[in-house]
Structure 1
Amino acid sequence: MKLFLLPVVVIFSLQVFAQPVVNPSKTSSTQQSRRYFGLHFDFHAGVHDSLIGHNLSEHGLDSLLTAVKPDFIQVDCKGHPGVSSYSSNVTNATVAPHITKDPLAFYRAVTRKHGIGLYLHYSGVYDEAVLAKHPNWAVQKADSTINISKTSVHGPYVDSLLIPQLNELADYGADGVWVDGECWATVLDYSPAALARFQTETGIQTVPRSDKDAAYSAFVEFARQSFLQYLGHYVDAVHRHIPTFRIASNWAYSSMMPEPINTHVDFLSGDLTPSNSVNSAALEGRVMAAQGQLYRKPWDLMSWSFWYEFNPVQRQGDQKTAVHLMQEAAEIISLGGGFQAYYQQRRDASISRREQPAMVELSRFVRARQPFCEGSVPMPQVAVLYTNSTVRAFNQSLFGNGQTQRISGVLTALLDAQLPVEVLSEQHLKGRLNQYPIIVVSQQDSLDPDFRRDLLAYARQGGHLLIIGAQTSRSFAAELGVSPAEIVTAGPRFILHGGASVVLTGPFLHVSITGENTKPIGQFLQSEAGDPVSGVIATETAFGKGKLTAVYADLSRDYQKHQSAKLRDFIASLAKPLLTKPLVEVSGSKLVHVVLNWQHDRTAVNLINTGGRHADPQVFTYDEVPPLTNLTVRIRADKKPNRIVQQPENRSLPVQYANGIATVTVPKLAVQSVLVVE
């Protein structure tokens, strides 16, 4: 049955699969399904772990794998301390003392018996033990001192330890490796080898030592490219050894480095923040999904099964309940990705079965939804822009997700307003901007000039840009028909919306309207209970056949911090009118995230119950998500569907059809359901 502007969806799908393929032999559907659901275990072995292998139990692992039925497990082989927890024969390896039984041989034998994949957790750039042996392999800081934990991507480490060990792991018969401590652990390197290469490749002879020095940006870009060359080098070397060995570099090509994929990594993966993981999964999953679809890469994300805080001090809380993890899994699998959960491995390399009941519940949840989520492609509706140019311009580290705060709150607000949203970078939108009724530009303060012109051309041709942020709106002032003044960082400020006050903490850009096609939206208030005062908080500008809507304040961090219902409604009031013919609308609760997919030649509307205190830093975990009832879902269709089925409940819903809209009522939403339109 042809639904939802099918020609547009087909054009999108063809464009996705017409992109250059990287390592196409590694992305068969069988191999992808092997990483749909898995369990991750690691313990970062150290030099004092002297009983490794002592308590390995084939009966215990048999029972666990039989009960949980994962596609794969990942176990420790070398963590950040750099100590191998298996009997490595590589010359430069540091092996834990007194390994009583080789864990990798054990795990390979048992997983092979169950037909389950075995992947290994291996720390790459981050290796303390090898640097204790070979300090000249380390990154050097700007003051020429040694970084005791980070290896240089220009040194012997990659060829003298990393590649030989990965080849050794492949020879064990493992299916692949999840390389941790990689892009996020890479730092600026002032070692002699790095500086010599920088000078040779760039012609710049004076090495910048701080961000105030000339050519500092060139040095940072050189360091980024050096990591990518290092990554490509070892991936290709291991593939030459055993082509079927699958490699992911943790967080490569994610929100930490949202750039085009230019190496032969086999799949994409990362581990979510241990707290507020439902919202983290919603953001990170959308970045991964866009990359995976464009470059035909399978992808998955890992949830920590326990609450943990890295800063300001390391604090560990409770193990998460099954329902808590289900919500995190729902955000990921609804986007077409795979899911894995991280449970701590014991110091002797064995696996505790204490959390097996939660693992079983989680497995049943994911498996029940797999037929309705796997292989999904999103239908274009709302795109939130996350540009490489802004990430590169403002990241304090070489690779990191610090710039996600520019979009994370706005994304969550749009999702909390029941809008289907994707997070896309330049490469995902190139040549297909006009497929999106709305493109949201939230605090993207360093747009590439060519891409900026593309955005304005999109609006002239009938598209709608929602521009959010003091600095971003300033950069579009001429097109918005406003005259900008100073940016004020002091807050808070109150605005009037829908008869109620909404607090914003800034920064704010003061503007005056100069364009005849520009009209103001909203009003400032003197105080929370005060009268309206002069000032422009937002505007709407006719622009060619399209529209530019701008908010002259940073909104993302406000919503990220307190998720105000009033701020959510304010953001929704700007976005929803721009979506004149929405493909799906949901009402009845503000606790629903909506993901609109094309899946196996059918429309699939994912509904996720986001109730529960997952965003509360004072709550480690929770064991109940109240069900939502009587949700009204309106789906645009060119004719009445044969039926709409709520899955995995297999509940056929009565359909009312009028004026191109099919309407159903979902009587109960527990955590995640998929409405399959047939």
Structure 2
Amino acid sequence: MRQASWHNDVFFGLHFDLHATDKDTELGRALTGQHLREQLAKTRPDFVQCDGKGHPGYASYPTRVGVPSPGIVRDQLRIWREVTREMGIPLVVHFSGIWDAAALKNHPEWGRVSQPGGERSPKMVCPLSAYTDAYMIPQLIEIIDNYDVDGFWVDGENWASQPCYCPACQAGFAIGQVPDQPGLPHWAEWLAYSRANFVAHVRRYADAVHRRKPGCTVCSNWMYTVRQPDRIEAPVDYISGDFSWIWSAAKAAVEARFMAGRHLGWDLMAWGFSSHGPMQDWVFKSADALCQEAAVVMSCGGAFMVYDTPNRDGTLVGWHMDTLSQVAAFCRARQPFCQETKTVPQAVILHAPAHFYAHNEPLFNLGDASDALEGALHALLENGVSADILNDADLVRQIDRYPLCVVAEQDNLSDELVSELERYVRAGGVLLVSGAEQTARFGRLLGVTALEPAYLEMQLHIPVGPGSVCAMGRYRQVRPADGQTEVIAPLLLTRDTGSAAQLSGGCAVTCRPAGKGMAAGIFGPIFATHAKAHYPAVRALLGQLLDRFASPGLARARGPARVHIALRNRNGQLFVHLVNLGSDHPLSPHSPLVEHVPPAGPVSLDIPLAARPRQVRLMPAAEPVSWTYAAGRLSLRLDLVGIHDILVIDQAD
């Protein structure tokens, strides 16, 4: 039984790390308790994370176990501990795990071997080496004993991991000959074994920390998020990750919608600074940009954290903290309507581990394996539908709660899962399946038969409204099996529509009733390509399909595509979060910074409710809202939506 932690009660936090090196000369020199107290008082965070040991492996505090940076002038970790204890703020230490270059200078035998017969890595450790038990755990225990910290946020972990071909790792693989590339026998088993070695590494240090101080939390950065969608087995206290410094809000959305369904406390960390792309030439983000990123996280019930780097002398940048005070006030105003809420099931998107691990960059990096997942999420959100993401185990347990399920180009689904999806449809659910090869698993349910040639790999088009949109990627050629299958859109050989259209003979999109429900198919990689292109016509095509479904359990928002919704509830109140992802200045790869977020609108909402609500308010401004209720639907219109507004609907007892 995982015990409750202090992290369950937090909502807004700050993170400061500086990745000390052997070149530092002034670590902690100018940091004082008074300075730190004054800066933290500007935001009053629920928790803070400070520097301990970064990827170079040098500790920024005096250590007898690890390798201290030669540039330590003052013990800044001691100052952080004293001030946070005085202010009643839990203190978490940023600590690099798998990535530790300094440890490997002294113990090169701990290094990972990335290919058979290769050299030991000078930066990344092997999870089966003595590093975890002989070095990392004693260093964590030293920090607990000397500073009585409240938690560790361990960085450089799953995303820094790869298969290791050292003698110990190869000897432990009992299935057969160790493969060194995809396509060879036992490749999938080798990757699963390697992933299990990483999980065992986390389990060892988490157990050690909990034994030493039961209330001290352990979090491994990005563990059990989109990049690791497995069942939660390691005894981590919560899940967390620092999302991209650029195009941040869009990247946060897919993580938030998945992490919110993991049955464990979670937070997401925004980088307080950004750039024109590379990890250099940093500039601090605007308050509006950070508030927008916060809204993506808060609207899904998560805690929000902002990362900034302190000066090398230990001081915090005062004007950065002034900006963050605005962000903190924005978050606090919305906290009563976000914290401890639960999702209201609407659309659910399958994130199948068997698909992900067959296509990602081993061991845990995304590659393009999550593109279809991300594209499906964005297409739904842009159409005013609230959406969650679940792995297959959680989906099977909860699928009947969701009016709509999307299976976006997912390979390697088990026969049992396919059967469960078919049962879901016949029981009244709506299923949308996409992909050229992937839809073949659902041929009977979709009511289509194959044509020759089986696939078209040429420039194709799909009619949308009066025009058409290019159908990127390979599409499967199918036709309706009988009159019950409705062709929503044919597959075109040219851009022409109407009487000038040149039909391929196949269908791009179909829909068919099955039992009490409905099954729809899109016979190409529409969502993976939508993640890269976001063509408005693809969004419109999905909107047409959603209209065709006419699912009575779905709430819909209709307005600018940049306004996304999330439905949550708590104690008889329904919260409809409206998050505005717009920007006043056009964004591009050469101008990626959000300066100001202007209001967006109008937005009309149509929400299923079992009974007439007692009250509807727009928070946090407490503005009155005009609304109507008829035939089990609440209808209203908002002229403008700010960065994050929340409809609070008090439901009848």
Question: So what's the TM-score if we normalise by structure 1?
Answer: 0.91
Match for residue 634 of structure 1? 606
User: Tell me, what secondary structure is at the counterpart of 2:260?
Assistant: helix
1:419 aligns with 2:419: no
Q: Residue 353 of structure 2 aligns to which amino acid in structure 1?
A: N
1:26 aligns with 2:4: yes
1:116 aligns with 2:92: no
Match for residue 119 of structure 2? 145
Residue by residue, what CA displacement relative to the aligned partner does 1:478-509 show, whole Å, maximum 9, x if unpaired? 43222155565745422211112112212211
Match for residue 5 of structure 1? none
The 8 Å contact of residues 270 and 307 in structure 2, kept in 1 or not, is answered as: yes
Question: Aligned residues: percent identity?
Answer: 31
Residue by residue, what CA displacement relative to the aligned partner does 1:393-422 show, whole Å, maximum 9, x if unpaired? 222311122321121112101101100111
User: Tell me, what secondary structure is at the counterpart of 2:510?
Assistant: strand
CA distance in 2, matches of 1:317, 1:486: 52
CA distance in 1, matches of 2:294, 2:309: 18
1:353 aligns with 2:326: no
User: Tell me, what secondary structure is at the counterpart of 2:438?
Assistant: helix
Residue by residue, what CA displacement relative to the aligned partner does 1:361-388 show, whole Å, maximum 9, x if unpaired? 1101111000000011111111111111
Residue by residue, what CA displacement relative to the aligned partner does 1:564-604 show, whole Å, maximum 9, x if unpaired? 22110101222343242145332343321010111233111
How far 1:524 sits from its partner (Å)? 3.3
CA distance in 2, matches of 1:105, 1:94: 17
The 8 Å contact of residues 28 and 312 in structure 2, kept in 1 or not, is answered as: no
Q: Residue 670 of structure 1 aligns to which amino acid in structure 2?
A: G
Match for residue 171 of structure 2? 196
Residue by residue, what CA displacement relative to the aligned partner does 1:252-280 show, whole Å, maximum 9, x if unpaired? 00001111111210011001111221111
The 8 Å contact of residues 60 and 353 in structure 1, kept in 2 or not, is answered as: no
Match for residue 340 of structure 1? 305
CA distance in 1, matches of 2:259, 2:138: 29
The 8 Å contact of residues 255 and 400 in structure 1, kept in 2 or not, is answered as: no
Q: Residue 32 of structure 1 aligns to which amino acid in structure 2?
A: N
CA distance in 2, matches of 1:447, 1:156: 38
My pick for the range that moved more, 349-358 or 612-621, is 612-621
Q: Residue 673 of structure 1 aligns to which amino acid in structure 2?
A: D
How far 1:543 sits from its partner (Å)? 2.3
The 8 Å contact of residues 30 and 315 in structure 2, kept in 1 or not, is answered as: yes
My pick for the range that moved more, 150-159 or 67-76, is 67-76
Match for residue 12 of structure 1? none
CA distance in 2, matches of 1:331, 1:524: 36
User: Tell me, what secondary structure is at the counterpart of 1:419?
Assistant: coil
The 8 Å contact of residues 372 and 529 in structure 2, kept in 1 or not, is answered as: no
Match for residue 467 of structure 2? 500
CA distance in 1, matches of 2:471, 2:590: 24
Match for residue 362 of structure 1? 327
CA distance in 2, matches of 1:362, 1:249: 26
The 8 Å contact of residues 43 and 349 in structure 1, kept in 2 or not, is answered as: no
Residue by residue, what CA displacement relative to the aligned partner does 1:166-192 show, whole Å, maximum 9, x if unpaired? 112222121101101111111111111
- Assess, with a 3 A threshold, how the Cα gap between structure 1 residues 571 and 583 changes in structure 2: closer, same or farther: closer
Among residues 645, 648, 653, which one is paired with 1:676 in the alignment? Answer: 648
Number of aligned residue pairs: give it: 641
CA distance in 2, matches of 1:484, 1:118: 62
CA distance in 2, matches of 1:350, 1:129: 25
Q: Residue 600 of structure 2 aligns to which amino acid in structure 1?
A: L
The 8 Å contact of residues 346 and 555 in structure 2, kept in 1 or not, is answered as: no
Match for residue 7 of structure 1? none
Among residues 219, 227, 246, which one is paired with 1:256 in the alignment? Answer: 227
1:156 aligns with 2:127: no
Match for residue 528 of structure 1? 495
CA distance in 1, matches of 2:197, 2:252: 29
Match for residue 175 of structure 1? 150
Q: Please show how residues 455-470 of structure 1 align to structure 2 within 5 Å.
A: 455-470=421-436
User: Tell me, what secondary structure is at the counterpart of 1:641?
Assistant: coil
Q: Please show how residues 453-602 of structure 1 align to structure 2 within 5 Å.
A: 453-480=419-446, 481-483=448-450, 485=452, 488=455, 490-529=457-496, 531-534=500-503, 535-602=506-573
Q: Please show how residues 35-54 of structure 1 align to structure 2 within 5 Å.
A: 36-54=11-29
1:390 aligns with 2:390: no
- Assess, with a 3 A threshold, how the Cα gap between structure 1 residues 379 and 180 changes in structure 2: closer, same or farther: same
Unpaired segments ≥5 residues, structure 1: 1-21
How far 1:676 sits from its partner (Å)? 0.8
User: Tell me, what secondary structure is at the counterpart of 1:113?
Assistant: helix
- Assess, with a 3 A threshold, how the Cα gap between structure 1 residues 309 and 618 changes in structure 2: closer, same or farther: closer
How far 1:63 sits from its partner (Å)? 1.6
1:444 aligns with 2:387: no
- Assess, with a 3 A threshold, how the Cα gap between structure 1 residues 626 and 592 changes in structure 2: closer, same or farther: same
Q: Residue 639 of structure 1 aligns to which amino acid in structure 2?
A: A
Match for residue 220 of structure 1? 191
- Assess, with a 3 A threshold, how the Cα gap between structure 1 residues 390 and 649 changes in structure 2: closer, same or farther: same
How far 1:536 sits from its partner (Å)? 1.4
1:284 aligns with 2:255: yes
- Assess, with a 3 A threshold, how the Cα gap between structure 1 residues 218 and 615 changes in structure 2: closer, same or farther: farther
Q: Residue 423 of structure 2 aligns to which amino acid in structure 1?
A: A
Unpaired segments ≥5 residues, structure 2: none
User: Tell me, what secondary structure is at the counterpart of 2:617?
Assistant: strand
Q: Residue 370 of structure 2 aligns to which amino acid in structure 1?
A: T
User: Tell me, what secondary structure is at the counterpart of 1:198?
Assistant: coil
My pick for the range that moved more, 615-624 or 70-79, is 615-624
Question: So what's the TM-score if we normalise by structure 2?
Answer: 0.94
Residue by residue, what CA displacement relative to the aligned partner does 1:50-82 show, whole Å, maximum 9, x if unpaired? 211111132322221111111111111111111
CA distance in 2, matches of 1:484, 1:306: 52
Residue by residue, what CA displacement relative to the aligned partner does 1:180-210 show, whole Å, maximum 9, x if unpaired? 11111111111112122223xx4x3x32222
Residue by residue, what CA displacement relative to the aligned partner does 1:129-175 show, whole Å, maximum 9, x if unpaired? 11111110111132331122110111110011111111122221211
User: Tell me, what secondary structure is at the counterpart of 2:542?
Assistant: helix
Larger RCO (CA under 8 A, 6+ residues apart): 1
- Assess, with a 3 A threshold, how the Cα gap between structure 1 residues 517 and 340 changes in structure 2: closer, same or farther: same
Q: Please show how residues 204-353 of structure 1 align to structure 2 within 5 Å.
A: 204=176, 206-291=177-262, 294=263, 297-308=264-275, 314-353=279-318
- Assess, with a 3 A threshold, how the Cα gap between structure 1 residues 214 and 557 changes in structure 2: closer, same or farther: closer
Residue by residue, what CA displacement relative to the aligned partner does 1:319-357 show, whole Å, maximum 9, x if unpaired? 211101111110110100000111122223332223122
CA distance in 1, matches of 2:451, 2:366: 30
CA distance in 2, matches of 1:102, 1:316: 29
- Assess, with a 3 A threshold, how the Cα gap between structure 1 residues 490 and 316 changes in structure 2: closer, same or farther: farther
- Assess, with a 3 A threshold, how the Cα gap between structure 1 residues 76 and 464 changes in structure 2: closer, same or farther: same
CA distance in 2, matches of 1:219, 1:526: 43
Match for residue 74 of structure 1? 49
How far 1:635 sits from its partner (Å)? 2.7
CA distance in 2, matches of 1:39, 1:442: 35
- Assess, with a 3 A threshold, how the Cα gap between structure 1 residues 169 and 214 changes in structure 2: closer, same or farther: same
The 8 Å contact of residues 456 and 477 in structure 2, kept in 1 or not, is answered as: no
Match for residue 63 of structure 1? 38
My pick for the range that moved more, 321-330 or 457-466, is 457-466
CA distance in 1, matches of 2:170, 2:491: 53
My pick for the range that moved more, 254-263 or 638-647, is 638-647
Match for residue 10 of structure 1? none
CA distance in 2, matches of 1:98, 1:597: 49
User: Tell me, what secondary structure is at the counterpart of 2:61?
Assistant: coil
